[in-house]
C-alpha cells in the first residue's frame, strides 16, 4: 500500500477533492431548489440530467481521448465543471440547471475515465488490487466529507457554489502536474444486450432497476429532506447516513457473497431494503428513525452493484467477463436516468412519502424477480463462483475492466492450481501403481 500511495498520492488527492465537490453539488442543488420553491417533479428532471450526461460522457470521452489526449480532455472538462458550478448560483432556473447538470455529468464521467486510466497505468500487477482499494476508500471519504461542507455556508447564497468551483479547480492541479505520459485507453466492447440478458436475466434486470434505486436514493434524498422541513444540518446528516451505510456494508456483503448462493443474498438484501423503505414512508417526522432507514437503504443498495456483477460472472466464460461488465454498466446508467423523474413526479402529485415508496417498489421488483429466477435455473456450486471485487457504483468502464481483470486472474490461478493438484495426484497414483508392479 505504501508503494501505491507513493506513486499515486497526487491522483488520489485530486480524486478526493473531485469526489467532495461532486458529492456536495447534488445535495446543494436539492436544498437550493427547495429554498427556491421548485417543486419535486421539476427537480426530478434536474437531478436526472446528471445521469443522462454521465452516460453520454462514457460514449463521448473515448472519442475525445483519441483526438486530443488525456491531459487536454482532463483540463477542458475540469474548466467546464468549474464554470457550471459558478453558473448554478447565478442562473437559478430549472431549465438552466438541467442543461448545466448534463454538462457536469458528461465532464465528471470524462474526469473519472482519465483519472482511473492514469491510476491503472501507475499500478503494477502486484499493486493493482491495492490501488483499487485505495481508490474506493478515497471515493467513500470524499462522498462523506462533501456532505459535511453543506453546513459551512448559506445554501441560498453564492459561497457554497464558489467552494465547489475552488475544489474542482484545485483537484485538477495535482493530477495534471503528476500525470505520467498518456496511457492507452482501451476497454472491452460492451456485450450486446440480448446476449447479456440471455446469459444472466437477474443480473441484467437487477442492474437496470438498481440504477433507478441508486439515482433516487442519492439524487432525490436532499429534495425529500427539504420538502419534509429538515434544516440544512439535518439534510447533511440524513444524506451522510446513506453514504455511511454503503461504506460499512460493502465489504461484509462481499465476504458473505463468496460463501453462499448469491441469488439468496440478492433476494435477502432487496427484501430488507424494500421493508426498510416501506417503513420509512411511515416514519414521518421521527428524525432518528429516518436516519436508521437511510443507513439501511445505503447499506442494502450500494453493495448490490458489485454483487450483481459477480453473479453475472458466475455464468460467463473468462474471456466474456469484461464485455459483460461493460453491458451491465450501460444498463445501470440507463436505469438511473428515469429514477429521479418518476420519484419527483410522485412526490409532487402523491406525497413526499413517495420517495421511499418508489425505492421500496424497485427493491421489491428485484427481490421478486430473484425468487422467480431461482425456479428457472440451478444454483452455481460455491467452488465454481467467481470471486467478488467491491466496486463503486460511480466507477467507469476503466475501473470496471480493472476489477474484471483481477477476477479473471484469480479464476485462472485457481484453475491452474487445480490442474497442478490433479497432475500431482495422478503422478502419485501412477508411481504407486508402478512400484506395486515392480
Q: Which CATH number covers residue 28? A: 1.20.1250.20
Residues 6+ apart with CB under 8 A from 25: 85, 88, 104, 164
Q: Is residue 230 part of a domain?
A: yes
Residues 6+ apart with CB under 8 A from 428: none
State whether 50 and 191 are in the same domain: no
Grid cell listed for 32 = 437550493
Are the beta carbons of 28 and 161 closer than 8 angstroms? yes
State whether 149 and 19 are in the same domain: yes
**Residue at which a domain ends, from 156, 186, 216:** 186
State whether 308 and 405 are in the same domain: yes
State whether 142 and 167 are in the same domain: yes
Residues 6+ apart with CB under 8 A from 140: 243, 246, 247, 392
Q: Is residue 436 part of a domain?
A: no
Alpha-carbon torsion, ordered 415, 419, 425, 431, to 10 deg: -170
State whether 196 and 76 are in the same domain: no
Q: Terminus-to-terminus CA distance in the chain, angstroms?
A: 55
State whether 304 and 336 are in the same domain: yes
**Residue at which a domain ends, from 167, 186, 205:** 186
Q: Is residue 124 part of a domain?
A: yes
State whether 93 and 160 are in the same domain: yes
State whether 176 and 194 are in the same domain: no
Q: Is residue 432 part of a domain?
A: no
The tens-digit pLDDT sequence of the chain (438 residues) is 566 666 667 778 888 888 898 889 989 999 999 889 899 999 999 999 999 999 898 888 888 888 887 788 888 998 999 999 999 989 999 999 999 999 999 999 888 888 777 777 766 666 666 777 777 788 888 888 888 898 888 898 889 999 999 988 888 887 777 656 656 655 666 778 888 899 889 999 999 999 999 999 999 999 999 999 999 999 999 999 998 998 888 888 888 888 888 899 999 999 999 999 999 999 878 899 999 999 999 999 988 988 888 888 888 877 777 778 778 888 988 999 999 999 999 999 999 999 999 999 999 999 999 999 988 888 777 776 767 676 666 666 666 666 676 667 766 666 566 556 555 555 555 455 554 444
Grid cell listed for 122 = 501507475
What backbone phi and psi angles, to 5 degrees, belong to 414?
-65, -40
State whether 115 and 193 are in the same domain: no
Q: Is residue 435 part of a domain?
A: no
Angle of the 321-349 helix axis to the 354-374 helix axis, nearest 10: 140
Grid cell listed for 408 = 479473471
State whether 55 and 203 are in the same domain: no
Angle of the 201-219 helix axis to the 232-257 helix axis, nearest 10: 160
Alpha-carbon torsion, ordered 143, 144, 146, 149, to 10 deg: 180
Q: What is the pLDDT of residue 433?
A: 54
Burial of 130 (0-12, 13-18, 19+ CB in 10 A): middle
CA–CA gap between residue 336 and residue 26 (Å, rounded): 14
Looking at the structure of the chain, the number of domains it has is 2
Alpha-carbon torsion, ordered 347, 350, 356, 361, to 10 deg: -120
Q: Is residue 147 part of a domain?
A: yes
State whether 355 and 234 are in the same domain: yes
Q: Residue 149 sits in which domain range?
A: 1-186
Are the beta carbons of 217 and 304 closer than 8 angstroms? no
Burial of 348 (0-12, 13-18, 19+ CB in 10 A): middle
Q: What is the pLDDT of residue 437?
A: 42
**Residue at which a domain ends, from 138, 159, 186:** 186
Grid cell listed for 410 = 484469480
Q: What is the pLDDT of residue 278?
A: 95
DSSP string, 74-133: HHHHHHHHHHHHHHHHH--SHHHHHHHHHHHHHHHHHHHHHHHHHHHHH--TTTHHHHHH
- Angle subtended at Cα 43 by Cα 284 and Cα 229, rounded to the nearest 5 degrees: 30
State whether 328 and 317 are in the same domain: yes
CA–CA gap between residue 331 and residue 329 (Å, rounded): 5
Q: Is residue 260 part of a domain?
A: yes
Q: Is residue 434 part of a domain?
A: no
What backbone phi and psi angles, to 5 degrees, belong to 395?
-65, 145
SS (H, E, C) 282-340: HHCCCHHHHHHHHHHHHHHHHHHHHHHHHHHHCCCCHHHHHHHHHHHHHHHHHHHHHHH
Residues 6+ apart with CB under 8 A from 237: 147, 291
- Angle subtended at Cα 71 by Cα 67 and Cα 75, rounded to the nearest 5 degrees: 105
CA–CA gap between residue 350 and residue 229 (Å, rounded): 17
Alpha-carbon torsion, ordered 244, 343, 159, 295, to 10 deg: -10
Amino acid at each position: 500500500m505504501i508503494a501505491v500511495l507513493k506513486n499515486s498520492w497526487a491522483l488520489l488527492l485530486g480524486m478526493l477533492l473531485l469526489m467532495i465537490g461532486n458529492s456536495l453539488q447534488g445535495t446543494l442543488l436539492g436544498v437550493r431548489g427547495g429554498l427556491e420553491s421548485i417543486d419535486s417533479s421539476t427537480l426530478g428532471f434536474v437531478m436526472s440530467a446528471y445521469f443522462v450526461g454521465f452516460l453520454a460522457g462514457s460514449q463521448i470521452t473515448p472519442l475525445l481521448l483519441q483526438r486530443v489526449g488525456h491531459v487536454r480532455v482532463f483540463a477542458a472538462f475540469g474548466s467546464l465543471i468549474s464554470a457550471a458550478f459558478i453558473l448554478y448560483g447565478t442562473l437559478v432556473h430549472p431549465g438552466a440547471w438541467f442543461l448545466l447538470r448534463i454538462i457536469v455529468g458528461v465532464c465528471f464521467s470524462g474526469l473519472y475515465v482519465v483519472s482511473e486510466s492514469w491510476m491503472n497505468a501507475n499500478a503494477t500487477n502486484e499493486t493493482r488490487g491495492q490501488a483499487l482499494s485505495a481508490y474506493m476508500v478515497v471515493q467513500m471519504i470524499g462522498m462523506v466529507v462533501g456532505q459535511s461542507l453543506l453546513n459551512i455556508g448559506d445554501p441560498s447564497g453564492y459561497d457554497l457554489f464558489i467552494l465547489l468551483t475552488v475544489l474542482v479547480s484545485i483537484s485538477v492541479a495535482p493530477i495534471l502536474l503528476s500525470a505520467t505520459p498518456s496511457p492507452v485507453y482501451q476497454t472491452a466492447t460492451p456485450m450486446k444486450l440480448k446476449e447479456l440478458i440471455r446469459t444472466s436475466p437477474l443480473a441484467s434486470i437487477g442492474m437496470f432497476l438498481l440504477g433507478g434505486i441508486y439515482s433516487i436514493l442519492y439524487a432525490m434524498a436532499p429534495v425529500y429532506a427539504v420538502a419534509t422541513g429538515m434544516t440544512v444540518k439535518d439534510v447533511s446528516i440524513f444524506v451522510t447516513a446513506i453514504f455511511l451505510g454503503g461504506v460499512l456494508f460493502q465489504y461484509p456483503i462481499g465476504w458473505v457473497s463468496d460463501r453462499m448462493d448469491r441469488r439468496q443474498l440478492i433476494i435477502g438484501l432487496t427484501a430488507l431494503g424494500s421493508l426498510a423503505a416501506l417503513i420509512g414512508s411511515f416514519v414521518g417526522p421521527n428524525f432518528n428513525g429516518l436516519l436508521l432507514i437511510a443507513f439501511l437503504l445505503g447499506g442494502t443498495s450500494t453493495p448490490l452493484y458489485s454483487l450483481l456483477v459477480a453473479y453475472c460472472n458466475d455464468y460467463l466464460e473468462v474471456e466474456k467477463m469484461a464485455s459483460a461488465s461493460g453491458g451491465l454498466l450501460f444498463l445501470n446508467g440507463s436505469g438511473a436516468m428515469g429514477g429521479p423523474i418518476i420519484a419527483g413526479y410522485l412526490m409532487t402529485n402523491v406525497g413526499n412519502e413517495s420517495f421511499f415508496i418508489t425505492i421500496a417498489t424497485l427493491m421489491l421488483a428485484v427481490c421478486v424477480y430473484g425468487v422467480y429466477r431461482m425456479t428457472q435455473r440451478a444454483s452455481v456450486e460455491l467452488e465454481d463462483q467467481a470471486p467478488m471485487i467491491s466496486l463503486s457504483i460511480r466507477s467507469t468502464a476503466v475501473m470496471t475492466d480493472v476489477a474484471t481483470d483481477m477476477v479473471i486472474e484469480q479464476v485462472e490461478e485457481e484453475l491452474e492450481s487445480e490442474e497442478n493438484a490433479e497432475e500431482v495426484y495422478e503422478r502419485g497414483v501412477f508411481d504407486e501403481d508402478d512400484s506395486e508392479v515392480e
